Amino acid sequence: MARQNTLFKDAYNRYVAGLKPDAALPTEPEIAAELGVSRSTARAILMRLSDAGIISWNKRQKTVLRQPTEADFFPQEETNSLHDIIERSFMLRILSDEAQPGMQINELELAREIGTGTSVVREFLIRFSRFGLIEKRPNSHWILKGFTSEFALELADVREMFELHSAAQFGRMPVDHPAWTSLAAIQQEHYDLLEDFDERYRDFSQLDERFHLLIHRASKNRFIADFYDAIAIVFHYHYQWNKAFARVRNSRAIAEHLDYIEALQSRDPARIDTACRTHLASARQTLLQSIPQSAGEIGEADTSTVHG
Amino acid sequence: MARQNTLFKDAYNRYVAGLKPDAALPTEPEIAAELGVSRSTARAILMRLSDAGIISWNKRQKTVLRQPTEADFFPQEETNSLHDIIERSFMLRILSDEAQPGMQINELELAREIGTGTSVVREFLIRFSRFGLIEKRPNSHWILKGFTSEFALELADVREMFELHSAAQFGRMPVDHPAWTSLAAIQQEHYDLLEDFDERYRDFSQLDERFHLLIHRASKNRFIADFYDAIAIVFHYHYQWNKAFARVRNSRAIAEHLDYIEALQSRDPARIDTACRTHLASARQTLLQSIPQSAGEIGEADTSTVHG
DNA sequence: CTTTTGTTTTTTATCTACAATAAACATTTT
DNA sequence: AAAATGTTTATTGTAGATAAAAAACAAAAG
C-alpha cells in the first residue's frame, strides 16, 4: 500500500473522544481547524461517524446520536505516524548498550526490521543526521558515531554558547512581554513539583524541556531554536533510558532552575550570566555521568553491524 | 533508468587525464584508492580503457598503449552528480530576485523542471532545510523563508559565537600543531593575492572559505563544523551572484584577515578576541549590504509559487 | 456576497523495482 | 601466506506508481 491513513485515524480518535450525545457539531472548516487537518480529512471523519451511526449528518445539521464506545476507536497502534515509529525504533537501537560507535547502519535491514520501506528510513536518517550521532559515507553506508563522551562535550559546548546568548536576550525583553508571564508560570510549576517531589520527580524532564525552550525562544534565532529541538529529542530518549540517580539529579536541577529564574527576573545581566553558567556546568556534568564508559569508547572502528 | 553512472564517468575522466603512454599501471586496489572509488568501479574503468584501446590489460600487466584524446573523455555534463545538479538548480532558483519569502515550494514541479525524480528532490530539500532557508509544513508543502535580513542576522549571530570560540581554541593549540603551518601558508597566500590583486581579487572567496574552515577545525566540534559547512555553501552561491563591490569588499577583508592571523600567531587571547570581533563585525555588515531590500521583505505570506 | 457544503484536482508520503556501486567471497599469482 | 585478480552478492541511489491528504474549484445555503 502507498500510504497509511494514520493521520485520519488519529484525528478520528481525537474527535470521537470529545463527542457528547445530542450535541450539534460545528461547520466543516471549524472541525478541520480544531483537529489541525484539512477539510478533506475532517469530512472523511464525519463520513465515518455517520456510517457508524454515531452522528446524523445532513449538510449543516450534524447531531451526535449516541455516546461512542470503546469499539468505535481505532486501535492505538494504528494511529502512530510512520515517522514516530521509525524514530522510536531507531533511537532504541542506537542508544542501547549494544550499539557501538563505528558500527555500520544498513538501510535495507533497518527497513525490514521496522517493517517499512527503504525510502522512509533513508529520509529519516537524513533528517536525523543533523543531531551529529550518525554520518554518511557517500555511495556507501551510514556510520554510527554514537552517544559518546566526545558527543556530549561538543553538545554541551554549543549548548552553553547558545543558552548564555538566549538568557542574556531574555533579560533584555520588555517588562510587558508575555514571556515573563510564562516564566512566572514555570516558576510556580517548579514549586508545585517540589511540594510532591517524591511522587512526581520523574515529571521534571518535561518541565526542564519547557523551561529551556522558553529561554531559547527569546533569542529569536532559527539556528538556536533548531539546535535546541535536536537536543530535546536526543535528551528525551537518552534520559528515558538512563534513569539512574534521576531523583538527586532532578532535585539539584530544580534548585538551580529556581535560582536561574530569579536571576532572569532581576534583569541583571551579570547575575543572569552567573546563574546560567552554574546551571549549565552542572547539566554538563550530569550528562557526562549518564554516559556508560564502554570499552569501545575510544573510537576504533568496529566492523560489525548495528543490528547484530 | 534507475541510476546514472556519473561516478564512473567522473572517475574515468579523472583517470584518463593522468595517463601517459607506455606507463605501467598499478594494481586495482591502488587505482581504486587513488580515485576514491570501489574496486568494482576501478575495474569498470580499466575495462573501458581496454575496450577503447587506450591500455592493454592482462591480469597484472596493464600498459598504456596511446595518449588519450579529447574524444576519449565523457562530456563534462555527464559527470555531474545528481545531487550537485539539484543543488545548483535549486540555489539559482531560491537566491534569485524572483523568489519571494513565503512562496510555496512544489516537489513535483521542481523535479519536473530539473528533470529528475521526486525522491531526490525530497531528500535534497530535507538536507537543505538545515540551512534555515526553507521550512516544511507537515503533510503539506515547503515554504521558502528566503535570504532575508532576518536570516542574515541570525546567521551572523551564530557565526560570531562559533568563531570566537574556535579562534580562542586555535590560540590554545600546541606550537607544534600542523595547523600553525597551514595558517602560515594561508597567510602567504593572502600576500600573494595582494601582489596581483587587480587580476585575482575574485579568488578571495575560496581563500576566505579555507581560512575560516581552518579556524573552525580547531574547535573540534561537529556542530560548529557542520554549521560552517552550511554557511560556506550558502555564501558560495550568494556571493557568486552578488558581485557588486566585490573588489573593495575583498580588499578590506584581506587586511582584516592578515591582522586576525597575526593575532592568532601572537597566541594572546585578548588580541585574538579583538581581531576576530573586528573581522566578524565587518563581515556581518558586508553580508547585510549584499541583501537586496525588496518589498516582500517584511514577511507577509505570498501565495504564488516559487516557479512562477 | 459571504460562508458552507459538494466535487475534482493537485500534491505529498510511501512502496517497489532496478541499475550503479560497494563489499564479500573465491581463486590465482607472486 | 600475503596480495592480486576474478566472480558473486549486498546495498545504495533513483525513478515511477499509487493511496492519503491537502488544496482548488463549483454549487448551494444563509
Q: Show residues of chain B in contact with A139, CB under 8 Å.
A: 7, 38
Per-residue pLDDT at B305 exceeds 70: no
Average pLDDT value for residue range B226-245: 87
Q: Decide if A214 contacts A206 (C-beta within 8 A).
A: no
Supply the pLDDT for residue A304. 42
Residues constituting chain A? 308
Q: Give the nucleotide at minimum CA-to-C1' distance from A109.
A: D11
pLDDT of residue A31: 98
- Which chain B residue is nearest to residue A231, measuring alpha carbons? B223
Going by C-alpha positions, the residue among B61, B60, B49 that lies closest to residue B18 is B49
Separation between Cα atoms, residue B181 and residue B188, nearest integer Å: 11
Q: Do A223 and B155 touch (CB under 8 A)?
A: yes
Q: In chain A, which residues have their Cβ closer than 8 Å to the Cβ of B122?
A: 123
Are B126 and A130 inside 8 Å of each other by CB?
A: no
Beta pairing partners, B76: none
Q: Could you tell me the distance in Å between the CA of residue A44 and the C1' of nucleotide C7?
A: 14
pLDDT at B296: 44
- Banded pLDDT at B295 (limits 50, 70, 90): very low
Helices and strands, number each (H, E), in chain A:
13, 5
Residues of B in contact with A163 (CB under 8 A): none
pLDDT at A228: 94
- Which of B7, B139, B221 has its CB closest to that of A158? B221
pLDDT exceeds cutoff 60 at B302: no
Nearest nucleotide (CA of B31 to C1'): D4
Query: How far A192 CA sits from the closest chain B CA (Å)?
Result: 35
Name chain B contacts of A122, Cβ cutoff 8 Å.
Answer: 123
The model's pTM: 0.91
Over 90: is that where the pLDDT of B6 sits?
yes
Among residues 185-224 of chain B, which lie with CB inside 8 Å of chain A? 219-224
Q: Which of B123, B145, B221 shows the shortest C-beta gap to A154? A: B221
Contacts of B247 (CB under 8 A, 6+ apart): B201
Angstroms from A300 CA to nearest CA on chain B: 18
Query: How far is residue B183's CA from residue B204's CA, in Å, rounded to a whole number?
Result: 16
Q: Do A223 and B122 touch (CB under 8 A)?
A: no
* Least Cα separation, residue B276 to chain A (angstroms): 17
pLDDT of residue B294: 59
CA at B61, C1' at C28: how many angstroms apart?
15
Give how far B22 is from chain A: nearest CA, Å: 33
Burial B215-239 (b: 16+ CB within 10 A, else e): bbbbbebbbbbebbebbbebbebbb
CA gap A56, B126 in Å, rounded: 43
* Residue B224 Ramachandran class (φ > 0 left, ψ -120 to 50 alpha, else beta): alpha
Task: Choose from B126, B128, B153 for mutation: most chain A CBs within 10 A.
Answer: B126
Mean pLDDT of B269-288: 96
Q: Quick one: pLDDT at residue A240?
A: 83
C-alpha grid cell, residue B142: 515547503
Q: Report pLDDT for A291.
A: 87
**Smallest CA–CA separation between B129 and chain A, in Å?**
9
Strand partners, A205: none
Average pLDDT over residues B165-180: 96
Q: Is A288 helix (H, G, I), strand (E, B) or coil?
A: helix
- A3: nearest CA partner in chain B: B139
Mean pLDDT of B134-144: 95
- Which residues of chain A does B220 touch, with a Cβ-Cβ cutoff of 8 Å? 154
- Residues 132 through 191 of chain A touching chain B, CB cutoff 8 Å: 132, 139, 145, 151, 154-155, 157-158, 161-162, 165
How do residues B11-57 score in pLDDT, each as one tens digit?
999 999 999 999 999 999 999 999 999 999 999 999 999 999 999 99
Residues A146-200 pLDDT 10s: 899 999 999 999 999 999 999 999 999 999 999 999 999 999 999 999 999 888 8
Size of interface A-B (CB pairs under 8 A): 54
Helix (H) or strand (E) holding A64: strand A61-64
DSSP calls for A157-222: HHHHHHHHHHHHHHHTS-TT-HHHHHHHHHHHHHHHHHHTHHHHGGGHHHHHHHHHHHHHHTT--H
Q: Which amino acid is at B307?
A: H
Q: Which of B173, B229, B232 is nearest to B208 (CA)?
A: B232
Residue B122: which nucleotide is closest by CA–C1'?
A: C12
Q: Which has more pLDDT, B146 or B14?
A: B14
**Stated in angstroms, how far is B29 CA from D3 C1'?**
10
Residue with cell 584508492: B33
- A contacts of B10 (beta carbons < 8 Å): none
CB pair distance less than 8 Å for B162 and A157 = no
Cα torsion B254, B256, B262, B267 to 10°: value is -140
How many Å from the N-terminal Cα to the C-terminal Cα in chain A? 29
Note the pLDDT of residue A303.
42
CA angle, B220 as apex, B217 and B222 as ends, to 5°?
Answer: 95
Through-space separation of residue A117 CA and nucleotide D16 C1' in angstroms: 15
Chain A residues inside the 8 Å CB shell of B119? 119
Q: Is B300 on the interface with A (CB under 8 A)?
A: no
With a cut of 90, say whether residue B87 has pLDDT above it: yes
Q: Which residues of B touch A123 (CB under 8 A)?
A: 122-123, 126
Element (H, E) at A134: strand A134-136
Residue B214: how many CB atoms within 10 A of its CB?
17
Measured CA A28 to C1' D17 distance, in angstroms? 32
Rounded Cα–Cα distance for residues B247 and B63 (Å): 49
Nucleotides of D under 7 A from a protein CB: 3-8, 11-24, 29-30
Minimal C-alpha gap between A139 and chain B (Å): 9
Q: Does B123 touch chain A (CB under 8 A)?
A: yes
Give chain A's residues under pLDDT 50: 295-308
pLDDT score at B95? 84
Q: Does A126 sit within 8 Å of B123, measured CB to CB?
A: yes
Q: Which residue is nearest to nucleotide D5 (CA to C1')?
A: B59
